[in-house]
Amino acid sequence: MRFHIVNLPNTQTTKYYQPCAYTQKNRRFATMMTRLGHEVFLYGGEENDAECTEFVTIVTKDEQAEWFGGNDPYAEPLNLSWDQHAPHWLTSNERAITEIAKRKQDRDFIGVLGGCCQKPIADTFPELMTVEFGIGYSGVFANYRVFESYAWMHSVYGSQSTVPGVMSARGRFYDAVIPNYYEVEDFPFSAEKDDYFLYVGRLVEAKGIQIAIDTCRRLGVKLVVAGAGTVPRPEDAEYVGVVDHVRRGELMSRARGVFVPSLYLEPFGGVHAEAMLCGTPVITTDWGVFTETVQQGVHGFRCRDLREFCDAVDAVDKLDYQGIRDYAIAKFSTDVIGPQYEAYFERLESLWGEGWYAA
């Protein structure tokens, strides 16, 4: 199979750009599918460390600096406008279209993760199949879609239903759910834990940072915080800033537990998968993806009030760290997820034949 994967215009497809989950999905997808023997053409900024058949630069660092004020996610990770008429989308889409046109063949796939902002690419090549292959966002447009969780797929289905009634929303046979995927070597395991809890993520209300603070303050335990933003009260936590993937793995592997208490319906919440890959229990809210990925009292705890969060902190040391890691590898590693994507795209390939009726 052949894939054209178009990255977002504000990052490079390198491990450095960890704050952008979708850049990392593009980078890992290219490597994963290339290693499985498929052809992958990856379009993006000037730097790339993903494995692929060909890497094609469609935006320069100078342009990124002009559009985003330096384009460093560690300095300003939220610098991407989702206005589809913004110069960065118009330019990157136009160039992606030009470069794909030079390389496309019949029955190629186009993969995008920019939602409606990248719809012009799909519109230009109706003869190819455009797939949004890792949806954890709104603004979904493609005919073929892979969601990061069933929770998010059902949320999108419900939000797009225009006919009132309990049974009005319809499923789509050529959608799928495939979880996010990770390179296991980036996540060290430690059976020995240090005496602290960890919060990693944007320091915003919606991510539940205050829950982590309130819980640790109530119990008098140490909280380490990593991410972009400001801790409301510096005395409530040890703030270590935004960390690279190496330091992230170190912090996760040595923590007693990792808080991921998102207040919204979390489509995936990569931090909790990364923590489990390190063999570290997670403490989450009880909705969204967590209901699918966190078995209560086995991989961590899903909580609904402060007492339950406090009880979780007291109980995490009793969990099986190696069992948590083994589960996460079996669920989220690129070695496991790659064949799931192959099976999905083979299903789509049948649409060039008899489709539903192929046997």
Mean local confidence (pLDDT), 284-296: 98
Give dist(CA 66, CA 158) in Å, integer. 39
Does residue 72 share a domain with residue 23?
yes
pLDDT > 90? residue 78: no
pLDDT > 90? residue 304: yes
Does residue 70 share a domain with residue 6?
yes
Q: What is the CA radius of gyration of the chain?
A: 21
Mean local confidence (pLDDT), 328-356: 95
| pLDDT value of position 80 | 83
Does residue 190 share a domain with residue 291?
yes
Structural domains counted in the chain = 2
| pLDDT value of position 75 | 54
Does residue 242 share a domain with residue 188?
yes
pLDDT digits (tens, 9 = 90+) for 189-232: 999 999 999 999 999 999 999 999 999 999 999 999 999 888 88
- Encode 222-240: b = buried (16+ Cβ within 10 Å), e = exposed: ebbbbbbbebeeeebbebe
**pLDDT band at 265, cuts 50/70/90?**
very high
**pLDDT band at 169, cuts 50/70/90?**
confident
pLDDT digits (tens, 9 = 90+) for 144-167: 999 999 999 999 998 887 667 666
**CATH code of the domain in which 73 resides:** 3.40.50.2000
* 198 DSSP β-pair partners: 224, 258
Name 276's Cβ contacts closer than 8 Å, sequence gap at least 6: 282, 299, 300, 324, 325, 327, 328, 332
Whole domain around residue 346: which residue ranges? 2-181+334-357
Give dist(CA 61, CA 17) in Å, integer. 14
Mean local confidence (pLDDT), 181-196: 97
pLDDT > 60? residue 181: yes
pLDDT digits (tens, 9 = 90+) for 36-46: 999 999 999 99
Mean local confidence (pLDDT), 79-98: 94
**pLDDT band at 76, cuts 50/70/90?**
low
Mean local confidence (pLDDT), 71-95: 80
Does residue 321 share a domain with residue 338?
no
Give the mean pLDDT of the chain.
94
pLDDT > 70? residue 130: yes
Does residue 220 share a domain with residue 177?
no
Give dist(CA 340, CA 145) in Å, integer. 14
Does residue 116 share a domain with residue 141?
yes
Q: Which 3-state string (H, E, C) describes 1-69?
A: CEEEEECCCCCCECHHHCCCHHHHHHHHHHHHHHHCCCEEEEEECCCECCCCCEEEECCCHHHHHHHHC
pLDDT > 70? residue 74: no
Give dist(CA 218, CA 318) in Å, integer. 20
Tell me which of 68-72, 182-186, 288-292 is least confident: 68-72
| pLDDT value of position 71 | 52
Does residue 64 share a domain with residue 205?
no
Contact yes or no for 280/321 (Cβ under 8 A): yes
Tokens representing 143 are 């005919």
Mean local confidence (pLDDT), 253-277: 97
| pLDDT value of position 230 | 87
Smallest CA-to-CA distance from 74 within 22, 10, 17 is with 17
3-class SS of residue 245: helix
Does residue 236 share a domain with residue 99?
no
Does residue 157 share a domain with residue 63?
yes
Does residue 259 share a domain with residue 161?
no
Task: Please report which helix (H) or strand (E) contains residue 301, including its range.
Answer: strand 300-303
Does residue 280 share a domain with residue 216?
yes
